[in-house]
Amino acid sequence: MKSVKMVLYGEPGVGKSVFASKAPNPFFICTDGNYEWLEEFGADPEAHVNVNSWSEAKQVFEKLNTEEYDKYQTIVLDLTEDFFKWCEQEYCIRNKIDHLSDLAYGKAYDATRNEFFIEICKLFAMSKHVILLMHGITTVVKDRRGVEHTKYTPSSRIPDKVLDMIEGRTRYFLRCYLKDEELEDGTLLKKRYLSLIPKPDEFGIVRGIDENSVPHDIPLEWSEFAKYIGLNNPLAESAKNASSRDKKIDKENVPVKAKRKSETKIEVSETIVETPTTTEQKEEPVVEEKKEPVVETKQLSNEERIAAIKAKLAALNNKK
Q: Is the pLDDT of residue 299 over 70?
A: no
From the CB of residue 97, how many other CB atoms can be counted at a distance below 10 Å? 13
- Per the structure, the complete domain to which residue 76 belongs is given by 5-174
| Assigned domain for 65 exists | yes
Confidence of residue 282 (pLDDT cuts 50, 70, 90): very low
Across 52-70, average pLDDT: 95
| Assigned domain for 241 exists | no
pLDDT for the residue numbered 74: 97
| Assigned domain for 309 exists | no
| CA atoms within a 13 Å half-sphere pointing along the CA-CB vector of 253 | 6
Confidence of residue 309 (pLDDT cuts 50, 70, 90): confident
pLDDT for the residue numbered 52: 96
pLDDT for the residue numbered 25: 96
H or E, element range at 107: helix 107-124
| Assigned domain for 122 exists | yes
- CA-CA distances (angstroms) from residue 236 to 20, 227, 240, 243? 20, 12, 6, 10
* CA dihedral sign, ordered 30, 33, 36, 38: negative
Confidence of residue 216 (pLDDT cuts 50, 70, 90): very high
222 near 172, Cβ under 8 Å?
Answer: no
| DSSP one-letter string for 142-189 | E-TT--EEEEEEE-TTS-HHHHHHHHTT-SEEEEEEEEEEE-TTS-EE
Of 2-16, 77-91, 240-254, the range with the lowest mean pLDDT is: 240-254
| Assigned domain for 274 exists | no
94 near 115, Cβ under 8 Å?
Answer: no
- Cβ within 8 Å of residue 154, ≥6 positions away: 7, 9, 81, 134, 135, 136, 137, 163, 203
- What is the domain-level CATH number for residue 10? 3.40.50
Q: One-letter amino acid identity for 309? A: I
112 near 120, Cβ under 8 Å?
Answer: no
Output the average pLDDT for the chain.
Answer: 83
| Assigned domain for 101 exists | yes
194 near 225, Cβ under 8 Å?
Answer: yes
DSSP label at 262? H
- Cβ within 8 Å of residue 167, ≥6 positions away: 7, 173, 204, 205
| Assigned domain for 294 exists | no
Number of domains into which the chain is organized = 1
Kindly report, residue by residue over 235-280, the tens digit of the pLDDT: 444 444 444 455 454 555 544 444 444 444 434 344 444 444 444 4
| DSSP one-letter string for 186-247 | S-EEEEEEEESS--TTB--EE-S--TTTS-SEEES-HHHHHHHHTPPPHHHHHHHHHHHHHH
H or E, element range at 35: helix 35-38
What is d(CA 264, CA 253) in angstroms, rounded to the nearest whole number?
Answer: 17
pLDDT for the residue numbered 241: 47
Collapse the DSSP code of 49 into the 3-class scheme (helix H, G, I; strand E, B; otherwise coil) and give the result. strand
| Assigned domain for 18 exists | yes
What is d(CA 49, CA 78) in angstroms, rounded to the nearest whole number?
Answer: 10
Across 70-86, average pLDDT: 97
